[in-house]
Amino acid sequence: MRRMKKLATLALSAALVTGTGVFPALAASTGAQGIDLSSYNSSFGPMPGSTDASATPETTENEAAASTLESLQAVQAALGTYTAQTGAIVIGPVSAIDTSALTDSQNTALDELFQNSVIIGNSIGNGFALYTKKHTEDPVLKNFQSLTANGYYIEGAFETISATSRHPFYRGQQRFVWDSVQLMGAKHVFLSFGTTEVQYPSVIEDYQKLINQIIAVNPGVDITVISATYIYPGKYYGTMTSPNVKKFNTTMEQVCIANGWNFINVADRLKDENGDLNPVYSSDEYIHQNDLAYDIWTAALKEYGLKKLGMA
């Protein structure tokens, strides 16, 4: 098992960093940005292996991309929690580290690590920010500041600041988040976007643009992407579906590894048997989450911290 994981890690790293390796079909059809999200739908079409006399070259290419995507998702799930060759820490879909009874030394180390942390995001991230304020005794949560706002989204991060813009407030006024990060002296930036943004064809490119802008203004800042979370069963809106969120997360994990950014998969820890947001974690029967969900976010963050510290 250990040998299989090691081989899978090496193969995945080569494929993700170079765009070749064991996933050539994905690389050929997607380029450097990952999966092509310009023609979103709930599935890529017929499953690989099915036959269709009217199949076109485009259909065949989509089938190949679907098969490759499924392979990539399977490898990512099998790897779970690990450190990539680029230095990126990936926290997988299943808890790999028990954080329920940490030692004093572990809690002290986590407290020191997470100092000067900030969560950037929309209403889902804002829910986490509110949750942190109720748990100021926690060694991780007490260190978080927030740059979150309801209706804030990746593309909107570059819009002109105005009376109608949704930029998060800091020190009493709306600012570009990269400027706020600089003002607050944040060293660890955690980003929570994607659930609503899957409706935008350029979401992957825009996400990288936002992260690179934050880094440009704040050299040396540590970047961690928190996966987009799924949608309540039966509450899809157009292309905003749980399957598309899963595609988005698969691609963002790939992008993070290639760039040396960290990635935390909370989505699959909160899903039901059909791949939607488990109703037990929902606060509004849509996309927003309750404290039970943010308990799981917190456990995943602690796993990330312990992995980064080499204490797990």
pLDDT in tens, 105-158: 999 999 999 999 999 999 999 999 999 999 999 999 999 999 999 999 999 999
Q: How confident is the model at residue 56 (pLDDT cuts 50, 70, 90)?
A: low
Q: What angle do CA 31, 32, 34 make, to 5 degrees?
A: 75
Token digits for 57?
């070259």
- Average pLDDT of 208-235? 98
CA distance 158 to 153: 10
Q: Which of 107, 76, 59, 78 is nearest to 13 (CA)?
A: 76
Whether the predicted pLDDT of 44 surpasses 70: no
DSSP notation for 203-234: HHHHHHHHHHHHHHHSTT-EEEEEPP----TT
Q: How confident is the model at residue 64 (pLDDT cuts 50, 70, 90)?
A: confident
Q: Residue written as tokens 């987009």?
A: 228
Which stretch of 8-17, 78-87, 232-241 has the lowest confidence by average pLDDT? 8-17
Which stretch of 45-59, 69-83, 213-227 has the lowest confidence by average pLDDT? 45-59
Whether the predicted pLDDT of 38 surpasses 90: no
Helix ranges, the chain (H): 2-18, 24-30, 57-79, 104-113, 123-133, 177-184, 203-217, 242-259, 291-309
Q: How confident is the model at residue 19 (pLDDT cuts 50, 70, 90)?
A: very low
Token digits for 168?
């998060």
Return all residues near 269 (Cβ < 8 A) that are at least 6 apart: 93, 94, 95, 296, 300
Whether the predicted pLDDT of 15 surpasses 90: no
Give the per-residue pLDDT at 58.
61
Q: For the chain, how big is the Rg over CA atoms in Å?
A: 19
Q: How confident is the model at residue 14 (pLDDT cuts 50, 70, 90)?
A: very low
Whether the predicted pLDDT of 211 surpasses 90: yes
Give the per-residue pLDDT at 173.
97
CA distance 133 to 144: 9
Please answer whether residues 245 and 233 qualify as being in contact, where contact means their C-beta atoms are separated by less than 8 angstroms: no
Give the per-residue pLDDT at 23.
39
Phi, psi of 119 (to 5 degrees): -100, 130
pLDDT above 90: percentage of residues in the chain: 73
Domains and CATH numbers, the chain: 2-82 (no CATH), 89-309 (3.40.50.1110)
Phi, psi of 3 (to 5 degrees): -65, -40
Token digits for 216?
């440009």
Q: How many CB atoms lie within 10 A of CB 265?
A: 24
Whether the predicted pLDDT of 36 surpasses 60: no
Q: How confident is the model at residue 59 (pLDDT cuts 50, 70, 90)?
A: low
Q: Which of 77, 68, 86 is nearest to 27 (CA)?
A: 68
pLDDT in tens, 173-184: 999 999 999 999
Give the per-residue pLDDT at 9.
43
Please answer whether residues 189 and 114 qualify as being in contact, where contact means their C-beta atoms are separated by less than 8 angstroms: no
Return all residues near 167 (Cβ < 8 A) that are at least 6 apart: 149, 152, 156, 157, 159, 161, 174, 175, 176, 177
Give the per-residue pLDDT at 69.
83
